[in-house]
């Protein structure tokens, strides 16, 4: 996890957020029900729960880096 901090936590606050310079480059590997995998950016725009800033969220998870 230190490698993730070194590369993506550019403001060194211990969180991966839009405040980090490389946030748009961070992706998660998501396994689909059919076994396929896809690299998915964290952008909060998938259908689901509407947020106060007009974005949407399908599921909420917590990641510690």
Tokens 């689901």 — which residue? 48
Backbone CA torsion sign across 31, 51, 10, 61: negative
CA distance 30 to 52: 26
The predicted pLDDT at position 48 comes to 45
Taking only the tens place, the pLDDT of each residue in 6-48 is 888 899 988 878 888 988 888 878 788 888 888 877 765 444 4
pTM above threshold 0.75: no
């Amino acid at each position: 996890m230190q490698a993730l901090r070194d590369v993506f936590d550019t403001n060194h606050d211990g969180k991966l957020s839009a405040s980090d310079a490389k946030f748009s480059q961070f992706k998660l590997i998501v396994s689909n029900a059919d076994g396929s995998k896809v690299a998915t950016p964290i952008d909060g725009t998938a259908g689901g729960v509407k947020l106060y800033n007009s974005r949407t969220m399908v599921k909420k998870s917590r990641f510690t880096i």
